[in-house]
């Protein structure tokens, strides 16, 4: 590890780990500390605690790296992710996911995350990921790249706008109510609904929402 420490000496940064399983968050943080890739590593199991911390330090001296679990108890990390990107413009975001579906990967790409790696990754893959990010590149593990390539062939994943509409539908809002809330026409919302029916093979809103929940999109 001494060689690895020397290799990264000029590029030390701070890292933040977010996972609602405290044991994983702490264990992964210890691995990052042991690798000497970062000069400081903090871990959190509560997204609000992480957001409070970075809100108090809006102008970090070095680029912070965020290792974020996609699934956080009864929600996904997307809301937290967008807040991190808004608070720290040059933040590097690495999503750690157990078993991402194509729609989840597509949604993460829409959010322009810097990397996606499986939870089963080795420390060597984490190092490869860091090397790519510090070259200004994105990094996707091989199994994630396979999903991305498949997405490029199908082009049938739900867009961010469509998922936003689904979130309103899941709260019981009608087409008209959703249109007013999103400042769109009723025709536009109805058109998005038809496209989502076609993409997911759904025949009605109930089936569409069931699909979205199974894919952890809402």
Whether 88 and 165 share a structural domain: no
Whether 20 and 125 share a structural domain: yes
Residue 153 is predicted with a pLDDT of 53
Residue 154 is predicted with a pLDDT of 52
Last residue of a domain, one of 153, 178, 194: 153
Whether 70 and 86 share a structural domain: yes
Question: What are the beta bridge partners of residue 17?
Answer: 43, 67
Residue 6 is predicted with a pLDDT of 46
Last residue of a domain, one of 153, 183, 203: 153
As for how many domains the chain has, the answer is 2
For the chain, which ranges sit under pLDDT 50? 1-3, 5-11
CATH number of the domain enclosing 11: 3.40.50.2300
Q: Provide the residue range defining the domain that includes 205.
A: 160-214
Whether 94 and 144 share a structural domain: yes
With beta carbons less than 8 A apart as the criterion, state whether 45 and 21 touch. Answer: yes
- Name the token pair of 117: 């790696």
DSSP assignment of 156-190 equals -SPPHHHHHHHHHHHTT--HHHHHHHHT--HHHHH
Residue 7 is predicted with a pLDDT of 46
For residue range 86-127, list pLDDT tens digits in order. 999 889 999 998 878 888 888 898 889 999 999 888 999 999
Whether 75 and 127 share a structural domain: yes
CATH number of the domain enclosing 186: 1.10.10.10
CA-based R_g, the chain, Å: 19
**What is the Cα–Cα distance from 150 to 148, expressed in whole angstroms?**
5
| Long-range contacts (CB closer than 8 Å, 24 or more residues apart) made by 49-56 | 50/16, 50/18, 50/80, 50/84, 51/80, 51/83, 51/84, 51/87, 53/16, 54/16, 54/84, 54/87, 54/88, 55/87
Helix segments in 41-172, DSSP class H: 47-55, 78-87, 102-110, 123-134, 142-154, 160-170
Residue 152 is predicted with a pLDDT of 62
- Burial per residue of 97-112, b for 16 or more beta-carbon CB atoms within 10 angstroms, e otherwise: beebeebbbbbbbeee
- Name the token pair of 105: 């990967």
Residue 18 is predicted with a pLDDT of 97
For residue range 50-69, list pLDDT tens digits in order. 999 898 776 666 789 999 99
């Amino acid at each position: 590890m001494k060689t690895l420490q020397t290799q990264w000496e000029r590029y030390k940064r701070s890292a933040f780990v977010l996972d609602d399983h405290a044991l994983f968050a702490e264990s992964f943080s210890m691995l990052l500390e042991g690798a000497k890739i970062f000069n400081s590593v903090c871990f959190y199991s509560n997204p609000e605690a992480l957001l409070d911390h970075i809100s108090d330090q809006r102008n970090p001296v070095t680029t912070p790296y965020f290792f974020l679990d996609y699934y956080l108890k009864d929600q996904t990390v997307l809301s937290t992710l967008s807040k991190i990107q808004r608070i720290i413009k040059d933040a590097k975001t690495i999503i750690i996911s157990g078993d991402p579906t194509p729609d989840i990967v597509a949604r993460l790409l829409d959010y322009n995350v810097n990397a996606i790696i499986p939870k089963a990754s080795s420390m060597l893959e984490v190092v490869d990921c860091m090397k790519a990010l510090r070259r200004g590149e994105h990094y996707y593990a091989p199994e994630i790249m396979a999903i991305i390539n498949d997405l490029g062939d199908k082009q049938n994943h739900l867009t961010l706008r469509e998922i936003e509409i689904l979130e309103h539908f899941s709260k019981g809002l009608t087409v008209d109510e959703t249109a007013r809330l999103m400042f769109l026409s009723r025709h536009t919302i109805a058109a998005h609904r038809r496209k989502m029916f076609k993409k997911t093979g759904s025949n009605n809103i109930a089936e569409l929402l069931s699909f979205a929940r199974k894919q952890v999109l809402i």
